[in-house]
Structure 1
């Protein structure tokens, strides 16, 4: 019994130390797991969620200390009963998770050794038996050292645990066992190997046969049963292969940019899984390091699960030189244990991960496309102007419904008056924006991409495009386009608008109009060559495709002479009159 007691003592103590240390290495990760247990779907203890991090630290420190106390034989009676209480609690959690299929991974060993609920429950039952065995045979447990030395070892271990826990919270976990660790390639982690097992399902059909319900199971086909159909249920019979990286996407404005950014060289990603509770003090370091990264030629984006409007407002308020894209919150929590955190990538491979406290440790090497002349003060002003330029315009296109009604209520006007109110507010902003842009244009010239980067280099263009000053600044816009400071397709759109406003034929076919009698494309100077001209300016659509994008898939582009267009404008003809 003495030998068995020592073996059980070593196993229990070592497992508690190992389990506690793994979780202490990543207390944020363990707190996320506790929040999952506290959720309404599991234990219904949501009131504990705000304290999950504190509870996680207390639990893992106690877990480590109990393991050490057992190994050195410090206060064996209280140590054994505390171990018993803790393992009973953990056994209940793992059984509950396994039986009701509530939490798929207990988090017992963090991400180092993922266990399914029944494996976790089995492990806890074995530990429970071993601890009961130790309680029964505790007379064989002798202290390894004197009482003072044992107490000192436990106290030093406590200080070490607290120091280590605080260190990883203020920086990042010392050991990273996740699929997004440094050196991993995200794109490769998403690949499902050829021949990997697929998930299988069965369909359980319920029919009423001779007055009794009968369940027929198939692999998907509708069963031939002489009865009345009631319902069916799909049941997963086996799990398929799940790649290490899943649910990772980069989205914005309804578009998927995942592949685009996973193929980027020299990419810096700022991760803030939720901007409502992100650490505001971290963005001073973030702003400084991202400005330096952009100057040295790096691409910089942010990832957050917050709504796009909230993210854009956050960028404006904190004067950040990048915009946020959407990614699932759980994925972002998995990538980096900081809010905000910094990830450096090259073609999808993670090179470096940093807590915001360590932003200055980000390794940046000047690239060929470095922008040493970037003026961030001007960039932030232009970003603010661009934000205001679209503030009310995007609300004008809200469809009839609850959201439009809510906007009208917020504005204090009737729903039918909302459009006019929004135009009034936008025209006021446009007037202010125009004054700010004219000051920039007259003092510094056009603020192009070498000075303010992309897409900020389009801010001045949008303000002029929405004003009555196109004639005044068109030459400056053309010069910026010729120098590559502004996309030529934008120059083309402004030139076309200017020409159409002068009742002259447009060059690139970018202006569609409606004078109340129907949609049509304003006449083009060289209709036979317009698609070639459009391609040279950077347009990817033909004029026919562009017209359908403007007016709908049913619209058929027709070449209209200037005389006919002016007649339509004067109400003498309609577009349908033109054959």
Structure 2
């Protein structure tokens, strides 16, 4: 029975670690954004600058530990490593859940969103299995017994585990789980269907009896049902508390607002443009790759002059910062503004490019993979 449970734990934990690592390695920049949230919560913002590097390291570590566990290589060291990492993540998810500091753990990236409590429950199960593996780590049998073979296979695993997140970071995720993926109809994803249930809230009034000084809280429903409002000895004190009772329908894109420097909303005009238009997303101009931005600026100039393609730059920086950079770099594009959260979701690059037509994402590129103007003209603009 003990041998069976050890094999089950080894296979289950190994596969789950590989899956978890690969899902996050598919989008290391997104995982880095999530780590930045944790760094802010734990008051270690100095690590934010290397968040993506830490993200890649953790992805590689998960994949390698999972693979070595399945292969049975270096059982004692792997068992110790797994125990250390699961204790760390269990503590992290508990803090997130108990104190509601991070609403989504990011354990499986955007592919399988988990609430902090769901993630904590998952980590508790893993902790039990890994503790068992750790206690019996000496019983793990390697599938290859020769040291040189083990080192060679391990080196290949480490190299492959490292190449994948470096590739997705330098290009774009192989699988895009975000709402701005190629083929997405953005206006449709922003709509709330007719008849969809809205959020349900409960108001809690703070009441005080003017004669006795008695205090009590009462819900808005009980406030009307009991008709306490007719009793002039009771008064409402302060502002009522608003609590979400039942979550209603939530569109896939709920936070995208694009405006100009004066605050005028241009979201509908830009998103629903019936013609080809290029959206250059540079959510943070302080860290933007200026060489890439200059090339995109030249591409925008050619696209507009030869095919009348509208090109805009979206950023979350202030209008003053954007204007200063525009003058310094002689940017041709129109500049609009949005919150950093949806801009980060649009394309995992700074800058990145989306090609839209009639609200549909025709294609998107990392600045490293943007096609030449001639290629874009042949494939899209001239048709």
Same fold (TM over 0.5): yes
The answer on 1:348 being equivalent to 2:359 is: yes
Instruction: Give the 5 Å matches for 1:434-449.
Output: none
CA drift of 1:2 comes to: 1.4
Where 1:276 maps in the other structure, the secondary structure is: coil
Q: 2:341 aligns with which of 294, 309, 330?
A: 330
The answer on 1:318 being equivalent to 2:329 is: yes
| Gapped regions of structure 1 (runs ≥ 5) | 371-579
CA drift of 1:350 comes to: 0.5
The answer on 1:114 being equivalent to 2:113 is: yes
| Cα distance in 1, alignment partners of residues 16 and 270 from structure 2 | 42
**Kept in 2: contact 1:103–1:117 (CA 8 A):** yes
**Kept in 1: contact 2:197–2:248 (CA 8 A):** yes
Instruction: Give the 5 Å matches for 1:315-464.
Output: 315-360=326-371, 363-365=375-377
Q: Structure with the greater relative contact order (CA < 8 A, sep ≥ 6): 1 or 2? A: 2
Number of the residue aligned with 1:175: 175
| Cα distance in 2, alignment partners of residues 338 and 87 from structure 1 | 30
**Kept in 2: contact 1:301–1:325 (CA 8 A):** yes
Number of the residue aligned with 1:160: 160
Where 1:320 maps in the other structure, the secondary structure is: coil
| Cα distance in 1, alignment partners of residues 266 and 119 from structure 2 | 38
The answer on 1:257 being equivalent to 2:259 is: no
C-alpha change, 1:361 and 1:62, in structure 2 (3 Å) is farther
1:46-94 C-alpha deviation (Å, 9 max, x unpaired): 2222221121111111111111111111111111111111111111111
Number of the residue aligned with 2:293: 283
**RMSD (Å), alpha carbons:** 2.1
Where 1:161 maps in the other structure, the secondary structure is: helix
CA drift of 1:176 comes to: 0.8
Number of the residue aligned with 1:35: 36
Where 1:358 maps in the other structure, the secondary structure is: coil
Number of the residue aligned with 1:217: 219
C-alpha change, 1:5 and 1:249, in structure 2 (3 Å) is same
**Kept in 2: contact 1:268–1:301 (CA 8 A):** yes
CA drift of 1:219 comes to: 4.3
CA drift of 1:368 comes to: 12
| Cα distance in 2, alignment partners of residues 153 and 26 from structure 1 | 25
| Cα distance in 2, alignment partners of residues 221 and 327 from structure 1 | 41
C-alpha change, 1:368 and 1:84, in structure 2 (3 Å) is closer
C-alpha change, 1:220 and 1:102, in structure 2 (3 Å) is farther
C-alpha change, 1:260 and 1:213, in structure 2 (3 Å) is same
1:160-213 C-alpha deviation (Å, 9 max, x unpaired): 222222222221111111111101011111112233332111111112233332
Number of the residue aligned with 1:2: 3
Number of the residue aligned with 2:279: 269
| Cα distance in 2, alignment partners of residues 11 and 110 from structure 1 | 19
Number of the residue aligned with 2:250: 242
State the TM-score, normalizing by the size of structure 2: 0.91
Number of the residue aligned with 1:130: 129
| Cα distance in 2, alignment partners of residues 185 and 219 from structure 1 | 40
Instruction: Give the 5 Å matches for 1:547-562.
Output: none
State the TM-score, normalizing by the size of structure 1: 0.61
| Cα distance in 2, alignment partners of residues 99 and 322 from structure 1 | 46
Where 1:216 maps in the other structure, the secondary structure is: strand
**Kept in 1: contact 2:297–2:333 (CA 8 A):** no
CA drift of 1:33 comes to: 0.2
| Cα distance in 1, alignment partners of residues 309 and 379 from structure 2 | 7
Tell me which moved more, 357-366 or 111-120.
Answer: 357-366
| Gapped regions of structure 2 (runs ≥ 5) | none
Number of the residue aligned with 1:26: 27
Q: After TM superposition, which residue ranges in structure 1, 4 or more long, deviate above 3 angstroms? A: 219-223, 365-370
The answer on 1:233 being equivalent to 2:245 is: no
CA drift of 1:310 comes to: 2.0
Number of the residue aligned with 2:316: 305
**Kept in 2: contact 1:12–1:67 (CA 8 A):** yes
C-alpha change, 1:368 and 1:356, in structure 2 (3 Å) is closer
Number of the residue aligned with 1:547: none
Number of the residue aligned with 1:73: 72
